[in-house]
Amino acid sequence: MGSATVRGGAVIGAVVLSLLAVPAPAMGGEAPAARSAGLRAPDLTGVRGVLRAAGRQGAPGAMARIDDRGGVRRAAVGVADRGTGRALADEDRFRVGSVTKTFTAVVLLQLVDEGRLKLDDPVERHLPGLLPDGRITVRHLLSHRSGLYDYTNDMFEKTVPGFEAVRDEVFTYRRLVDRALQHPPTDAPGAAYRYSNTNFVVAGMLVEELTGNSVAAEYRDRIFGPLGLHDTFYVHPGTRIPGRHARGYLTPDEAGAPLVDSTRQTVSWAQSAGAVISTTRDLNTFYSALLGGRLTSAARLAEMTKWVKVADSQAYGLGLRRRDLSCGVSVYGHTGAVQGYYTYAFTTEDGSRSLTALANTSNNGTVLNTMLGTLESAFCGTKGKARGGSGESVERYEDVAPQVVVGEPAGS
Ligand code: HEL
């Protein structure tokens, strides 16, 4: 399918690259393709086909859950645990990776709502001396336009050795930022969208500086508790997923090498950029609540959904992705890739229909690409472009084409 490509010497899927490093030209005025009204019925058969294809392509298990105005549809294939053969099911908790970024953005936007900072504040005002460029603002961080280098590029250049080197490591935020600052900036502040975990590490530092509390406490008190997300946790630096969970299986770079059980890890390399644990149900509840306006003021949600176009069918807001599907429907949420787990968690513009899909493998661009098909089946119904049967790519390769930056967007 032509999706294998190279990032810092490591093989990842084209879809991964498309999410990571696509400079973008404009912000603010770029409208979603269509509103969510008049959605077609979800195509659960299509979803199942996609999950089965992911299984054939190397995922030990794959599952999806659709919450639609009180109705629930679930599908799962394969196993949560290759050792015991236990089947993967909706109740299984898993690591959500960068879906964490939306949680972190929500906490910061609530703090903006409370008047404790402004989106256009320089980071320097709150964390003096941390960053070398005083022009970097909070908005730049949350929209991946700070120009701060992503330290994970070096860290995971070699997939399994990179992972094993940090599996039990406990980093301070500052150590992670220092790793990023060993590299020159990738762009001037505000000039370009370039996905970087460093942005959300600094965002976590801001949360802790402004509140005097850990991000764990802020997630709990502001989001997990109020929404009743009883299967959602932030256990850093703990290494275990509490309770019933899917084990994660990392795909080595070397073809044919056995999968590595990557379940146990600190995720300290990501923290506020990627260490939340959750379930399909809780992520659907979270994104429905967010887009439904139950977590921030309308004004802050409007800020969160000012889009930078990052590819033909993708845009980024503040800790939030938008995907424009083949049927003209746009959906909002985030993706996650943490060792052993790929997540898609998206909802409609009004939060009325949500889908979360998980495959318990990673470093397998084919599976990641295939899983995108769950969105097509969930939100476009039988008209969606999911092609689970053939395993053919839904994402087009040209989505990775970089776009030229034309200048500083208004209000940035
Ligand atoms: S990458 C992404 C995804 N995000 C970013 C973040 C997350 N995850 C990471 O930065 C982990 C990168 C290493 C993952 C590892 C694997 O596949 O398990 N890959 C390698 O080590 C490759 N050498 C932009 C895809 C997102 O969707 O936002 O999550």
Which residues are designated catalytic?
Answer: 98
pLDDT at position 91 is 98
What contacts 24+ positions apart, CB below 8 Å, involve 25-28? 25/309, 25/403, 25/404, 25/405, 25/406, 26/308, 26/309, 26/406, 26/409, 27/143, 27/306, 27/307, 27/308, 27/409, 27/410, 27/411, 27/412, 28/306, 28/307, 28/409, 28/410, 28/411
Interval between CA 64 and ligand 1 midpoint (Å): 20
Angle between helices 100-113 and 197-211 (to 10 degrees): 40
pLDDT in tens, the chain (412 residues): 222 222 222 323 333 433 444 443 444 445 555 455 689 999 999 999 999 999 999 999 999 999 999 999 999 999 999 999 999 999 999 999 999 999 999 999 999 999 999 999 999 999 999 999 999 999 999 999 999 999 999 999 999 999 999 999 999 999 999 999 999 999 999 999 999 999 999 999 999 999 999 999 999 999 999 999 999 999 999 999 999 999 999 999 999 999 999 999 999 999 999 999 999 999 999 999 999 999 999 999 999 999 999 999 999 999 999 999 999 999 999 999 999 999 999 999 999 999 999 999 999 999 999 999 999 999 999 988 875 544 443 332 222 222 211 123 323 3
pLDDT at position 13 is 34
Interval between CA 337 and ligand 1 midpoint (Å): 4
pLDDT at position 387 is 55
The finding on whether 196 has its CB within 6 A of some atom of ligand 1 is no
Residue to substitute in 5, 156, 260, 375 for testing ligand 1 pocket (most ligand atoms within 8 angstroms of CB): 156
Whose CA is closest to atom 25 on ligand 1? 16
Name the token pair of 182: 């060993």
Give the global pTM: 0.90
Whose CA is closest to atom 21 on ligand 1? 159
Angle at 126 between CA 121 and CA 130, to 5 degrees: 110
pLDDT at position 36 is 55
Name the token pair of 341: 């787990």
Q: What does the H/E/C string look like for 278-309? A: ECHHHHHHHHHHHHCCCCCCHHHHHHHCCCEE
The finding on whether 156 has its CB within 6 A of some atom of ligand 1 is yes
pLDDT at position 385 is 81
pLDDT at position 80 is 99
pLDDT at position 38 is 82
pLDDT at position 371 is 98
What contacts 24+ positions apart, CB below 8 Å, involve 68-77? 68/42, 68/352, 68/353, 68/354, 69/352, 69/353, 73/42, 73/44, 73/47, 74/280, 75/44, 75/47, 75/48, 75/51, 76/51, 77/48, 77/51, 77/52
The finding on whether 98 has its CB within 6 A of some atom of ligand 1 is yes
pLDDT at position 384 is 86
- Looking at ligand 1, which atom is closest to the CA of residue 158? 23
Strands (E), 172-317: 249-250, 260-261, 277-278, 308-311, 314-316
